[in-house]
Amino acid sequence: MLYLILCFLLGFFNSSLLSLSSSLPPTHLCRPEQSSALLQFKSNLSLSISKCSQEFHIVSVHKTDSWDEGTDCCKWEGVVRDNRKGNVIGLDLSCSGLIGSLQSNSSIFSLQNLRWLNLAGNYFSNSEIPSEFGKLRSLTYLNLSDTALTGFVPHEFSLLSELVSLDLGRNYLLFRDHDFNMLVHNLTKLENIVLDYMNLSLVVPYSFLNLTVSLKHLSLSYCDLQGNFPTQVFHLPFLENIILSSNPNLIGYLPETNWSSPLSLLDVSGTRFPKGLPGSIGNLKHLKALSLSRCVFMGSIPSTLGNLTKLTFLDISNNMFQRQIPDVFGNLNDLSSMDFSSNNFSGVFPSSAFNLTSLTFMDFSSNFLQGTLPNNISELSYLRELHLYENLLRGRVPGWLFSLPSLEYLDLHSNKLNGPIDSIQEPNLVLLNLTSLDLSSNNLSGNIQSCMLVKLRNLRSLDLSFNNLLSLTRCSNDVNSTLPRIIEFLSLLATCNVSQAS
């Protein structure tokens, strides 16, 4: 009773907020036929104790446990009811542990007032995706992600012309080209379309030309897309996120002009975009993440990259970029991850990268970069990984490397670094978190005493091999010796001189 009053009050409050002009008293009960449709939907499925798909990192909760016959559906978890007419207008059963087949006669398709439907992360036992979804004409939000639905997406989906957001990703679903064309042509209000891990191999990518101008978010990773991607999609005026990653047979190029100015996330990694990176990329003032890895990109890097001051993530690794990297990173204060590895860059290392205060990950490995590491650096206090291996770097290993407080991985192997590395033996060393240090295959010299490494409490792997002039001495008073495990490692690689001090 108390509950009904509460329900009524809440209902009244909501409806008076939503429709101030209305003088009708609110009803507070779900329509009985809709309540029983929900109960039938529940009874036709079982519950699993399994978690939601790992990638969502959500533990499933049995929302339908609260659905009891005889109580109003206002009380049921995941159910949203329109307060005036008592219609069920929203259903969020995402990650609810539901298991069973989803048939075309399922009672859920009678809930024709639904505006939001989220069934993501349940398991519909490889049921063929029912064409009856096309009956739910009021839907503005539909999420069927990761539900083990199969088959061709029926053409009836193009009847859902109110849809603003559609997620069919992570299912064994395919689209016929014609049906997909109809869908993108007819869903003129779409802002958000996620089809990751679907099979779009039959869709001619030119169909994306028919996408509505209102589009903000397009996600198509692992879709087996084939052929040429229309560059015009990058011009869509409201586009914020575009993810085309891991479609190895998708060919395209980035536009020289007319980029969508709100673009914030651009990911074409693992596709074939064989042309260069245009200088116009620097006009994307809102760009936060740029991922161009594994795309056979060629040419040099435009200096306008330094204008992307909002950038937090930059990955251009594993391409065929070449020539000098412009030294323009000084203003990228939010950049936390930069990966330029496995390209063909030459010339001097861009030292402005060492000025980036927010950096946690830096990788320039496997290039032809020359130059020396700077002598004095006070930034990089969040840097956890630094990979500069397989380059042509010369000069000393500077002391500041061993005072980076967050450093866990330092890999400088296969360069031309020389001189002693005394700084690793300094008494005030703060590298508590260093777990892996690889300085092998350089020209380092001098002697390191084992007892001086005792502060590197987390060191799991040390490789100093292939430095002919470098030796390691075991201290006789090395009580807690960190050395045994290091020697063990070194002895596998062997060419470093290990001697026993007496």
Shortest CB 258 distance to ligand NAG, Å: 4
**Number of residues near ligand NAG (by CB under 6 A):** 56
69 Cβ contact list (under 8 Å, min separation 6)? 39
The per-type count for the chain, helices as H runs and strands as E runs, is 4, 31
Q: Which is nearer to ligand NAG, 248 or 419 (CB)?
A: 248
> Which residue spans within 177-243 are E strands per DSSP?
192-194, 217-219, 227-228, 241-243
Q: Which is nearer to ligand NAG, 162 or 422 (CB)?
A: 162
- In the list 14, 125, 131, 201, the residue contacting ligand NAG (rule: CB under 6 A) is 201
- 462: part of which helix (H) or strand (E)? strand 461-463
302 φ/ψ angles, rounded to the nearest 5 degrees: -70, 145
Measured distance CA(82)–CA(217) in Å, rounded: 28
Three-class SS of residue 493?
Answer: helix
- 172: part of which helix (H) or strand (E)? strand 172-174
Letters for 448-487 (x = contact with ligand NAG by CB under 6 A, - = none) are ------x------------------------xx-------
CA angle 433, 436, 442 (to 5 degrees): 130
Q: Should residue 344 be labelled a site residue for ligand NAG when binding is judged by CB under 6 A? A: yes
Residues 303-322 that bind ligand NAG (CB under 6 A): 303-304, 306-307, 320, 322
Stretch that binds ligand NAG, among 7-15, 23-31, 39-47, 459-467 (CB under 6 A): 39-47
Nearest Cα to 195, choosing from 212, 211, 171, 162? 171
Shortest CB 101 distance to ligand NAG, Å: 8
Tokens of 100: 């069973």
Measured distance CA(259)–CA(257) in Å, rounded: 6
Measured distance CA(80)–CA(117) in Å, rounded: 10
Shortest CB 89 distance to ligand NAG, Å: 17
Q: Which is nearer to ligand NAG, 333 or 447 (CB)?
A: 333
Measured distance CA(358)–CA(320) in Å, rounded: 27
Terminal C-alpha separation, the chain: 87
Residues 257-296 that bind ligand NAG (CB under 6 A): 257-258, 282
Q: Which is nearer to ligand NAG, 360 or 443 (CB)?
A: 360
Q: Should residue 327 be labelled a site residue for ligand NAG when binding is judged by CB under 6 A? A: yes
Stretch that binds ligand NAG, among 66-74, 158-166, 442-450, 490-498 (CB under 6 A): 158-166
Residues at the site binding ligand NAG, with contacts judged by CB under 6 A: 40, 43-44, 56, 94-95, 103, 105, 118, 120-121, 143, 145, 158-159, 161, 165, 167, 174, 181-182, 185-186, 192, 194, 199, 201, 206-207, 209-210, 224, 257-258, 282, 303-304, 306-307, 320, 322, 327-328, 330, 344, 346, 351-352, 355, 368, 405-406, 433, 454, 479-480
